[in-house]
Every structure is written in C-alpha cells, then in structure tokens.
C-alpha cells in the first residue's frame, strides 16, 4: 500500500509529506523512504516523456522563437543530482570506516529536511486564498477529480499487475 503514496500523489513534496505523516502516525519509518523512492522513479520517466510529448505536440508546426536548453532547464535538478552524488560518495567513503560523523550528518540532514518540508507545506496552505478557489467555479475541480481518479486507477492497476507478475 505504501507504493500508492509515490504513484498516486502528483507533487513530490506532497508524497514526502504524506510518507512523513504516515511514518509519524503509525511509526513506520520505511514508509517515507519507499514513497519517496517510488515517486522519484516515476519522475525519472519524465526525462523520456516530456521531450516525447513536446515533439508529438509540436511536430509540423513552424517555430518563431528558438529556445536553448539553458534557458528552460530547471536548476533545482542540479541540487538533486548534487545531493545524490554527495550521499553516494559519502556512503562509500565513510561507511566502510564506520564514521559516526557521517551518520550524524545524514541524520541531521534528514531531521532538517522533515522540518523544512513541514514549513513548506504549511506555507503553501497559508497562501491559499479561499475566495480565489470559489471564483474558479466547479470546472477545475471536475478536471482535477478526473485526473486524480485516472492516476489512482492507473497506479492500482500497475501495482496489481506488478505484484501478480512477480509473485
């Protein structure tokens, strides 16, 4: 069931928040890790899907403006890659030496990430204007519900197929 968090929730930060809440509620520390890894694997496929969809959508259309990859590249991805490299290199260098400093640093970063994630989710909630939501009408909610139901059904189907195929 934990994989549903990583496959059915759209936003990566919300997946981490849901995993964190589940962990705190049911004392299940592996939930946050499983949900986050599942979501990150799902996000990895965007590397293939986004250019494919852009190509399919824009084929046959003339372009007036040229874009460079530097102009449209999301730089936060470099932060993710840097943290992956730091963690992997640190694990290789310090775990073999049983370094308490490395373990305490990793635990400290994990604790800070939970605090910062909680603060970010609270900030998003506090910036929500209910009048703006009311003025949007019901159509965005219908579209959101259809999208949510579709993602949920695809997630359940995929997980069931995966479990039945490998068991």
Query: Above 70 in pLDDT, residue 46?
Result: yes
What is the average per-residue pLDDT within 73-95?
A: 80
> How much is the pTM?
0.49
* CA nearest to 6, candidates 166, 162, 111, 164: 162
* CA nearest to 7, candidates 41, 33, 32: 41
DSSP, collapsed to helix, strand or coil, labels residue 1 as coil
Q: What are the sequence ranges of the domains in the chain?
A: 1-66, 74-128, 130-167
What is the average per-residue pLDDT within 28-50?
A: 80
pLDDT band at 108 (very low <50, low <70, confident <90, very high): very high
pLDDT tens for each residue of 117-152: 889 888 888 888 888 888 888 888 888 888 888 878
pLDDT band at 8 (very low <50, low <70, confident <90, very high): low
Q: Are 67 and 31 a contacting pair, CB within 8 Å? A: no
CB burial of residue 71 (10 Å; 0-12, 13-18, 19+): exposed
């Amino acid at each position: 069931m934990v994989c549903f968090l990583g496959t059915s929730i759209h936003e990566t930060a919300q997946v981490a928040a849901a995993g964190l809440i589940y962990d705190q509620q049911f004392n299940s520390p592996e939930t946050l890790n499983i949900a986050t890894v599942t979501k990150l694997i799902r996000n990895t496929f965007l590397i293939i899907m986004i250019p494919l969809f852009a190509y399919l959508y824009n084929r046959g259309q003339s372009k007036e403006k040229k874009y460079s990859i530097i102009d449209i590249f999301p730089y936060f991805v470099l932060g993710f890659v840097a943290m992956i490299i730091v963690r992997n290199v640190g694990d290789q260098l310090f775990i073999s030496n049983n370094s308490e400093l490395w373990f305490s640093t990793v635990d400290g970063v994990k604790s800070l990430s939970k605090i910062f994630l909680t603060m970010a989710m609270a900030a998003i909630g506090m910036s929500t204007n209910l009048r703006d939501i009311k003025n949007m009408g019901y159509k965005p909610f219908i579209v959101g519900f259809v999208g949510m139901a579709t993602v949920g059904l695809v997630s359940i189907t995929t997980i069931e197929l995966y479990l039945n195929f490998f068991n």
